Structure 1
């Protein structure tokens, strides 16, 4: 099996596993991840945090997103600009006008692009070195590589997202921290380069 075939099969298996998880269990995992985010993020610094609108069984962190906004964080949602390009981010706040983006995912309808310094990326899978298996478009890796300066990259997902056999591409970038409902896993602890 080639690495591309392995990635396709692993994506299908991981997405199927999280979709098979009950709504109650997903909510419980999301609550634990939200508590982990509270412990990791310094709200006194008024961070600009990128999140995501949940899709295909991803953890629903929208309640946490609204709470983070209420605590002074600037919230950004990602926009797909074009294939093989980094994501752009547009400011979100409760009640802002929304429209449908790629894959019919809601995005803020208008407003200027902003650059986050905390990136919360949904995981399809992850490995022992905190590399993220996404949907295959490379959007988050290109985005992370293009953001200069200090930033914190947090991968969030289901406990079933852990995988073995992952061979990172040259452009893959490990997450600084992985949160899948338990204690955070830091890249340095796992030997990521």
Structure 2
């Protein structure tokens, strides 16, 4: 952390700003417990900053971005997978200023895709995926997020969307996700076999130099922002 007079004096440990994490200090294997705590503190600060910036986006601009994201996502899926009929695709219900892709999910449903939404059935456990249709009656799940009812069909997605708070691209083209900090999505991806083709969805302005990947972080296959498509590592 910088001194109270804000005069830079080199790198700090624990860090509060990304620029204060010394490259030689950072170990991606996170074998040092202090380093893991430092990265967690930095992520909390970045998460708060990025969420505040996202909430400040106007309704009109948010709708424009959502439409652009939908176009990029449809192009990626068609180019990568061809037809969507019969494919199980997991979307998400928008919260905390996330971009609303429910119209795109409805398009997928009309095109014959099988659309699912994630739900928490057990704390600190992998998510489950329940089938969703546009006319379905939703129920309140964890954090009051609408989810398909418990009796909805459980599915294993072939393709999964992951909303991004922040994101980064590794030198090898690997995409990394900064989420809300609960660990549910990474825990879920680690448990799924085969792992779905995973697409991070967020703002181009939320790009970070690194998220300082930890052993529990699962890389993304592609990242889609309003600026376009990056990644596609599989």
TM-score over 0.5 for the alignment?
A: yes
Question: Does the alignment pair 1:124 with 2:160?
Answer: no
Aligned pair partner of 1:104 in 144, 154, 160: 144
Q: Is the 8 A contact 2:39 2:212 kept in 1?
A: yes
Question: Does the alignment pair 1:4 with 2:49?
Answer: no
Question: Does the alignment pair 1:153 with 2:218?
Answer: no
Which structure has more RCO (C-alpha within 8 Å, separation ≥ 6)?
1
Secondary structure at the residue paired with 1:11?
helix
The match for 1:84 is 124
The match for 1:139 is 184
Measured after TM superposition, the shift of residue 83 of structure 1 is: 2.5
Q: Which moved more, 1:150-159 or 1:5-14?
A: 150-159
Q: Which has the larger radius of gyration?
A: 2
Q: Is the 8 A contact 1:125 1:163 kept in 2?
A: yes
The match for 2:33 is none
Q: Which moved more, 1:51-60 or 1:155-164?
A: 155-164
CA distance 1:74–1:5, shift in 2 (3 Å): same
In the superposition, the TM-score normalised over structure 1's length comes to: 0.92
The match for 1:35 is 71
The match for 1:113 is 154
How many Å separate the matches in 1 of 2:135 and 2:84? 24
Q: Which moved more, 1:79-88 or 1:6-15?
A: 79-88
Question: Does the alignment pair 1:72 with 2:72?
Answer: no
Q: Write out the 4+ residue segments of structure 1 that deviate beyond 6 Å after TM superposition.
A: none
Number of residue pairs the alignment of both structures matches: 189
Q: Is the 8 A contact 1:174 1:187 kept in 2?
A: no
Question: Does the alignment pair 1:181 with 2:217?
Answer: no
Measured after TM superposition, the shift of residue 47 of structure 1 is: 1.2
Aligned pair partner of 2:208 in 144, 152, 163: 163
How many Å separate the matches in 1 of 2:186 and 2:232? 15
